[in-house]
Structure 1
Amino acid sequence: MADFLICEQRGHVVTLTLNQPEKRNPLTGNTAVPELLAAIDRIAADASVRAVVITGAGPAFSSGGDIKAMQHQSSGAVSGLQIRQDYRAGIQRLPLALFNLEVPVIAAVNGPAIGAGLDVACMCDIRIASEQAKFAESFVKVGIIPGDGGAWLLPRIIGLSRAAELSFTGQTIDAQTALAWNLVSRVVPHAELLPAAYELAERIAVNPPHAVRLTKRLLREALHTRLDTLLELSATFQALSHQTADHREAVAAFLEKRPPQFNGG
């Protein structure tokens, strides 16, 4: 099987392209999950990477689960216990890996993001949509539930009522509705999607990388911790930040009225 994922780095920005366009970039029934996990591990260990863009090849971002693989699971040939373990050892590792990745991730949603495809977009920090993008939490349409963390992710992005509406109906919404519901940050003409994503990634990448990574960690921890706990963690992160070379450079550049140069120190 050909590689599912195209990984490219330009400066401090890595682009991950889901690349099985003839099947609309499904996330199951192929090597999508192990390839994404391996790429996330490499990015986490590479101090030169300061932002990531995830997009899809062809007309779709991702169609989610592969229907033929679902047919095999429902045939009785695989036990329920084995299916449970397959989820835990497979696609459920992806939200944990992206959640814990401290490098900011932008989803450049170029077309339909359906089921697990929508949930992968929700695993990212920022979502930008092409005007051709569509979104659906469509699991109920095939008689299953969001098995990849969507029930945790989606309400935190668009609120419980709208997350329930999408999840219970399986309806598809267009890019402008996604923007109105705060599912995406902006909608751009299709030809401008990747340039807009890269421009945003570059605006992130020019900042001190340690400060950006620690800020992402705080935002993630704030989703499930108490205020006093987060303040204690913030104090620790701030103490580390004050002692970095990039902080000293930022202060010096401000006082000297010149552009700063950050090297990750």
Structure 2
Amino acid sequence: MITPFLHEERRGRVAILTMDRAESMNAIGTLEDCDNIVDTFFRLANDRSVSAIVLTGAGRAFCTGGNIKGIRDRKGIGPLDQPDSTAANYRRGVQRATRAMLDCEVPMIAAINGHAIGLGLDLACVCDLRLAADTAKMAASFIKVGIIPGDGGAWTLQKIIGYSKAAELFLTGRTFDAAYAQSIGLVGDVVPADQLLEKAIALAEEIAANSPRALRLTKRLLREAQHGRAGDVLELSAAFQAIVHETADHKEAVNAILEKRAPVFTGD
């Protein structure tokens, strides 16, 4: 039986997902790995008991991207026998994984515990927030393998750090450390490696303490606002606001503020 690529744990309303291929530094090598990512994020997106997700890696790496040996041998998630087959393989594999993560309305935190290279860095960029261990190394290094970011990274990275800096990282392929990543706004906090996961979980729990429906709609609104016109975003904001005003959690939040107590949210 194949071990799932993602190992899942729960802590209350927080789902902790660990990329579980420590022996290969959590490289993604097969379509089955991608299917597991797709299935996991689809399931969590439809699980109303989940209000935050933490994504991290087993061992000393977050994710070192695609499997280089598989690329050389034309097996797995990369090139196949013909260009049209290769394009279909990317759509079928890593791009489905990217889409599943982008479509997930649950707030996501990447806990970058070690090397985040190529596809690995792009997976972190799909998350809403990023924390990094002080020992982490990162690179948008597709150019070093003579290829381009085929997984959506050309869209996500520049959304976070802007076109010019993203272009610099993609066109040089250079490796950089966590302190530099923080200086360009790629990661929020840099923490000692042995504290990273607990810091990420604590942040996830702080997020998950809020109204579940409002959390998901807030994330969706933020994502839509990245590429929407101001007028369209205002219309969507009005629609979402009309929804959450009718929730039991909104009424509970108002009453809790007036009664000077902590709210108890149910997701209703």
**TM-score bracket, shorter-length normalisation:** over 0.9
Q: Secondary structure at the match of 2:54?
A: strand
| Cα contact 1:92–1:148 (8 A) shared by 2 | yes
Give matches, 1:69-84, under 5 Å: 69-73=70-74, 78-84=81-87
The correspondence of residues 60-209 of structure 1 with structure 2, limited to 5 A, is 60-73=61-74, 78-209=81-212
1:182 is matched by which residue type in structure 2?
G
The residue that corresponds to 1:31 in the other structure is 32
Contact 1:60 1:110 survives alignment (8 Å): yes
* Bigger Cα displacement from structure 2, 19-28 vs 115-124: 19-28
Structure 1 residue aligned with 2:219: 216
2:52/2:107 contact within 8 Å kept: yes
Do structure 1's residue 252 and structure 2's residue 260 form an aligned pair?
no
Q: Which amino acid aligns with 1:238?
A: Q
SS in 2 for 1:3: coil
- Partner Cα separation in structure 2 for residue 77 and residue 122 of structure 1: 27
Listed one character per residue, the Cα deviations across residues 196-235 of structure 1 (whole Å, up to 9, x for unaligned) are 0011001001000100100000000011111100100110
Corresponding residue pairs, total: 265
Asked whether the equivalents of residues 31 and 93 of structure 2 are also in contact (C-alpha less than 8 Å), the reply is no
**Any idea what SS the aligned residue of 1:31 has?**
helix
Aligned to 1:55: 56
Partner AA of 1:174 in structure 2: D
Change (3 A) 1:245 1:76: closer
The residue type paired with residue 37 of structure 1 is V
TM-score scaled by length of structure 1:
0.97
Q: Cα 1:251–1:161, aligned 2, differ >3 Å: closer, same or farther?
A: same
**SS of residue paired to 1:113:** strand
Residues 151-196 of structure 1, C-alpha deviations (whole Å, 9 max, x = no match): 0111111111111111001000100000001000100000100110
Check conservation: 1:108, 1:193, Cα contact below 8 A. Answer: yes
Note if contact 1:40-1:97 (Cα within 8 Å) is conserved in structure 2. yes
Are residues 154 and 165 of structure 1, via their aligned partners in 2, closer, same or farther at CA, if it must alter by over 3 Å? same
What's 1:5 paired with?
6
Q: Percent identity?
A: 52
Secondary structure, aligned partner of 1:135: strand
C-alpha offsets along residues 17-45 of structure 1, whole Å, 9 cap, x if unaligned?
Answer: 00111100012336321111111111011
Contact 2:79 2:89 in 1 (8 A): no
- The residue number in structure 1 matching 2:44 is 43
TM-score (norm 2): 0.96
* Corresponding residue SS for 2:61: coil
- SS of corresponding position for 2:157: helix
Query: 2: distance between equivalents of 1:207 and 1:85?
Result: 40
Q: Supply the RMSD in Å over aligned alpha carbons.
A: 1.4
Kindly tell me: are residues 43 and 76 of structure 1, through their superposed partners in 2, closer, same or farther at Cα, counting changes over 3 Å?
Answer: closer
* Cα gap change, 1:184 to 1:16, in 2 (>3 Å): same
The 1:233/1:142 distance shift into structure 2, 3 A limit, reads: same
Unaligned runs of 5+ in 1: none
Kindly tell me: are residues 145 and 77 of structure 1, through their superposed partners in 2, closer, same or farther at Cα, counting changes over 3 Å? closer
Deviation at 1:132, TM superposition (A): 1.1
Structure 2 counterpart of 1:212, one-letter code: L
Q: 1:76 deviation in Å?
A: 8.7
**Equivalence for 1:226:** 229
